[in-house]
């Protein structure tokens, strides 16, 4: 059976051809340990990794590419940012649309570091919740449940005004919407490589604004500063302990090349057309409950339920009968479901990517309509 | 110029053909987010990952494969083990041959968690240093500097006798020497995938003996238990936060398949022949100072210096004039150099892998001899 992949919020699929090639180069041509030796192969790997740092810096407008550290995934980046960057005893404002990769580190801070938390639905409620003890804002740029887009330029302005640390989870947004570390006044940008940036799984990054201080959560070999008994304070070594993921890093570089070649705006435009088409028609189908963005902008991910069918059953029917691949359940974002009124039911999530087509959207719409007619 | 790769302690090179294929499958055929959805692609990825867990379990004799968590590298595994497993205020015995991936987390524990440390050269000195406050032994199975092999079966017996937590850094040993979690009484086994296990960079693992308790250092999405505000206590979710590295995991599985096909003993035998050949002839070359194992067993990695040449210069000459790729410096193991008397000079390290040949060894020996004759 032909399959229709609408689970791009989990991982983008397929990857561009150049990403496959970059991975192959990473494990064949550049298979040495970068920064760990002076021989030609290690230097070549190191150079390739430096090039990717430069690409990321340019893509997100980061002045000094050495302020970018590679991580295993956005979760690791967010742990580094939250556990290493938020002061003990401070007040933090975050949203109800955070993923567990933000919530669990924040609850750790609440339990262990006397941090107090305020949850808001959108960026519009941030300023009114600022207290004298507020030190940081942690925001999921685009909800992985209903596509709520937070206005990070506005949040950045608030953070600047009140001198707050701005930590951005860009897992769902990087590679879809323009992010500018300087313009948006972001202090810590947390990225995953394998979603809209088109890299493979196992690679992420954390980008610090110049001067932002973080205490490392992980420590280990850095290939340089070997005689120091603790982690070096210099970036990127500060946050890069152990052998880097050369193939993953190169895949991320190739993913950014792909985006630059197509054009970020064109990618966004395409995904927006798909999302609008999907939502517009679904609004006209009886028995379908849609869970849309809480702000004026909708990202390319949306949740729904069909009256009378469990979300997990619906996902199974879509898969087995129509070859439609979506995710059902809570999507690792429990508070979003409290907020949307789906805490007991979960939702079925459709998430679109650049490689989806309007025909695929229509196929999914027909399938959903078909299912509603049968119950 | 043809190159001769003797930097296998940094990363094994090349990888077996089946590893390349597994990576390709991981990013093409199994490119979904395992454990994050119920659709067929996610289930297929999940099944593949489960198979690798089973392979690792069988390879290291781990009863329950769910006690294996995938990490980004051995450094992450060791941070999890040391920061999450060693009690505050306890005394720990470790060796002078530890890598910074062990030393820096241990010094963190010393600085922040009132842990006291005793350093020994070999396993033979462990028992005499045990105090009533001793709670853990952390040991580098094979030194990445001079190939000192610690007898883990004997250490395991001591740990059992005194009820101590046994944390093993098997970065240099897994895939070269037989490790048996049960026989060797290992509580926490820390692995890297990209060295002698032949996987790609970016993948590691941590294996817990049934009943060993660890507090997670990282927290985040687990795809299950989504409503829990903190990290689930169940393995492997406890230590697996965020999207797993599917291609990396599959590469590790293929690496283990390769080892099983060749035979671990045969691999060890081959590398031992190379190492012995290298050492035996070097002993007869004037001006060469060899740094051999501190125990009765020598791993396939050895350090040396040539009188009158800086280690970094020697490595550069070997690379530029002979195409010989080795690592010079401290190898992220500063205490080893204090112990060997090379703290000011560093060493040039040769590390051999299964794909090295006797001819390559002879070529390296001739090159070294040649260099000694020119100074």
Residues A230 and A104 in one domain: yes
Residues A47 and A190 in one domain: yes
- A202 chain-B contacts, CB cut-off 8 A: 72, 202-203, 244-248
- Nearest chain B Cα to A112, which residue? B230
Residues A297 and A238 in one domain: no
- A202 has a pLDDT exceeding 90: yes
Residues A181 and A294 in one domain: no
What H or E segment, with its residue span, contains residue A339?
helix A334-340
- The answer, yes or no, to whether ipTM is higher than 0.95 is yes
Residue with tokens 């990070």: A152
CA distance B36 to B50: 14
Report residue A224's pLDDT band, with 50, 70 and 90 as the boundaries.
confident
- A326 chain-B contacts, CB cut-off 8 A: 37, 39
pLDDT tens figures, B167-179: 999 999 999 999 9
Among the partner-chain residues B11, B105, B220, the one whose CB lies closest to the CB of A75 is B220
Residues A243 and A284 in one domain: no
A239 close to B (CB below 8 A): no
Site from B242, B313, B321, B346 to mutate, A interface, most A CB atoms within 10 angstroms: B242
Contact A13 B19 (CB under 8 A): no
Residues B33 and B141 in one domain: yes
**Percentage, residues of chain A above pLDDT 70:** 100
- A36 has a pLDDT exceeding 90: no
- Name the β-bridge partners of B177: B174
B232 close to A (CB below 8 A): no
Give contacts of A 54-83 with B, CB under 8 A. Answer: 71-76, 78-79
Q: For chain B, what is the HEC assignment?
A: CCCEECECCCCCCCCCHHHHHHHHHHHCCCCCCCCCCCCHHHHHHHHHHHHHHHHHHHHCCCCCHHHEEEECCHHHHHHHHHHHHCCCCCEEEEECCCCHHHHHHHHHHHHHCCCEEEEECCHHHCHHHCCCCEEEEEEECECCCCCEECCHHHHHHHHHHHCCEEEEECCCCECCECCCCCCCCCCEEEEECCCCCCCCCCCEEEEECCCCCCCCCCCCCCCCCCCCCCCCCCCCHHHCCCCCCHHHHHHHHHHHHHHHHHCHHHHHHHHHHHHHHHHHHHCCCCCEEEECCCCCCECCEEEEEECCCCHHHHHHHHHHHHCEECEEECCCCHHHHHHHCCCCCCEEEEECCCCCCHHHHHHHHHHHHHHHHHC
Residues A330 and A297 in one domain: yes
Report residue A50's pLDDT band, with 50, 70 and 90 as the boundaries.
very high
Domain termination site, one of A262, A292, A313: A262
- Nearest chain A Cα to B202, which residue? A245
Among the partner-chain residues B11, B75, B226, the one whose CB lies closest to the CB of A221 is B75
Looking at residue A67, its pLDDT comes to: 98
Residues A76 and A214 in one domain: yes
Tens of pLDDT, residue by residue, chain B (375 residues): 899 999 999 999 999 999 999 999 999 999 999 888 889 999 999 999 999 999 999 999 999 999 999 999 999 999 999 999 999 999 999 999 999 999 999 999 999 999 999 999 999 999 999 999 999 999 999 999 999 999 999 999 999 999 999 999 999 999 999 999 999 999 999 999 999 999 999 999 999 999 999 999 999 999 888 999 999 999 999 999 999 999 999 999 999 999 999 999 999 999 999 999 999 999 989 899 999 999 999 999 999 999 999 999 999 999 999 999 999 999 999 999 999 999 999 999 999 999 999 999 999 999 999 999 998
| CA distance, residue A179 to nearest chain B CA (Å) | 22
Residues B88 and B185 in one domain: yes
- A375 has a pLDDT exceeding 90: no
pLDDT tens figures, A146-156: 999 999 999 99
Give contacts of A 301-320 with B, CB under 8 A. Answer: 312, 315-316, 319
Please provide residue B119's backbone torsions phi and psi, each rounded to the nearest 5 degrees: -105, 130
Among the partner-chain residues A226, A319, A332, the one whose CB lies closest to the CB of B221 is A332
Contact A14 B32 (CB under 8 A): no
Looking at residue B286, its pLDDT comes to: 87
Among the partner-chain residues A11, A241, A243, the one whose CB lies closest to the CB of B31 is A11
| CA distance, residue B44 to nearest chain A CA (Å) | 12
Mean pLDDT, chain A, integer = 97
A325 close to B (CB below 8 A): yes
Domain termination site, one of B211, B234, B262: B262
Among the partner-chain residues B75, B76, B246, the one whose CB lies closest to the CB of A201 is B246
Torsion of CA A58, A64, A69, A73, to 10 degrees: -30
Domains of chain B: total: 2
Report residue A223's pLDDT band, with 50, 70 and 90 as the boundaries.
confident
| A:B CB pairs within 8 Å | 299
Report residue A104's pLDDT band, with 50, 70 and 90 as the boundaries.
very high
Please provide residue A91's backbone torsions phi and psi, each rounded to the nearest 5 degrees: -105, 135
**Percentage, residues of chain A above pLDDT 90:** 96
Residue with tokens 């689930």: B232
- Nearest chain B Cα to A111, which residue? B230
Choice among A78-92, A219-233, A353-367 with the minimum mean pLDDT: A219-233
Residues A109 and A234 in one domain: yes
| CA distance, residue A77 to nearest chain B CA (Å) | 10
Comparing CA positions, the residue from A341, A330, A77, A324 lying closest to residue A217 is A77
Question: The domain that contains B269 carries what CATH number?
Answer: 3.90.1150.10
Residues A134 and A257 in one domain: yes
| CA distance, residue B125 to nearest chain A CA (Å) | 23
Structure tokens at A35: 């920064």
B23 close to A (CB below 8 A): yes
Looking at residue B144, its pLDDT comes to: 97
Residues A310 and A196 in one domain: no
Average pLDDT over residues A271-298: 96
Domain termination site, one of A262, A291, A321: A262
Taking a C-beta distance cutoff of 8 angstroms, is the pair A40, B3 a contact?
Answer: yes
| CA distance, residue A293 to nearest chain B CA (Å) | 21
Among the partner-chain residues B74, B220, B247, the one whose CB lies closest to the CB of A100 is B220
Question: The domain that contains B95 carries what CATH number?
Answer: 3.40.640.10
Looking at residue B36, its pLDDT comes to: 80
Q: How many helices (H) and strands (E) does chain A have?
A: 10, 13
Q: Strands, E, within chain A: which ranges? A: 4-5, 68-71, 91-95, 116-120, 134-140, 165-169, 188-192, 204-208, 288-291, 301-306, 324-325, 327-329, 347-351
| CA distance, residue B156 to nearest chain A CA (Å) | 25
Report residue A37's pLDDT band, with 50, 70 and 90 as the boundaries.
confident
- Nearest chain A Cα to B327, which residue? A37
pLDDT tens figures, A121-175: 999 999 999 999 999 999 999 999 999 999 999 999 999 999 999 999 999 999 9
Give contacts of A 243-282 with B, CB under 8 A. Answer: 243-248, 251
Residue ranges making up the domain that contains B148: 17-262
Other CB atoms within a 10 A radius of the CB of residue A360 amount to 18
- A38 has a pLDDT exceeding 90: no
């Amino acid at each position: 059976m032909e399959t229709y992949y609408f689970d791009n919020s989990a991982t983008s699929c397929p990857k561009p051809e150049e990403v496959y090639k970059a991975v192959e180069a990473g494990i064949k041509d550049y298979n040495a340990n970068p920064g760990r030796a002076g021989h030609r192969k290690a230097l070549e790997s190191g150079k390739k990794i430096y090039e990717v740092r430069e690409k990321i810096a340019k893509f997100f407008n980061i002045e000094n590419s050495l302020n970018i550290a590679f991580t295993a995934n956005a979760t690791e980046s967010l742990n580094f940012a939250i556990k290493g960057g938020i002061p003990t005893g401070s007040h933090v404002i975050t949203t109800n649309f955070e993923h567990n990769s933000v919530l669990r580190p924040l609850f750790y801070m609440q339990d262990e570091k006397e941090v107090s938390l305020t949850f808001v639905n959108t960026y519009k409620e941030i300023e009114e919740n600022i207290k004298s003890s507020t030190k940081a804002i942690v925001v999921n740029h685009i909800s992985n449940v209903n596509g709520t887009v937070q206005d990070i330029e506005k949040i950045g302005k608030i953070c600047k005004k009140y001198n707050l640390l701005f930590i951005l989870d860009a897992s769902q947004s990087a590679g879809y919407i323009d992010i500018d570390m300087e313009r948006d006044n972001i202090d810590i940008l947390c990225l995953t490589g394998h979603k809209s940036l088109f890299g493979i799984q196992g690679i992420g990054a954390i980008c610090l604004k110049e001067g932002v201080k973080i205490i490392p959560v992980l420590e280990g070999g850095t290939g340089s500063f070997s005689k120091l008994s603790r982690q070096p304070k210099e970036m990127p070594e500060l946050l890069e302990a152990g052998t880097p993921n050369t193939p993953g890093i190169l895949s991320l570089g190739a993913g950014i090349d792909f985006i630059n070649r197509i054009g970020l705006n064109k990618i966004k435009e395409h995904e927006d057309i798909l999302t609008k088409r999907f939502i517009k028609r679904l609004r006209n189908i009886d028995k379908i409950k849609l869970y849309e963005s809480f702000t004026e902008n909708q990202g390319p991910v949306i949740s729904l339920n069909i009256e009378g069918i469990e979300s997990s059953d619906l996902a199974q029917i879509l898969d087995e009968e129509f070859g439609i691949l979506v995710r059902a359940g809570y999507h690792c974002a429990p508070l979003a479901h409290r907020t949307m009124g789906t805490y007991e039911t979960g939702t079925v999530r459709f998430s679109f990517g650049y490689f989806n087509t309007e025909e695929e959207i229509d196929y999914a719409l027909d399938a959903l309509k078909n299912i509603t007619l049968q119950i």
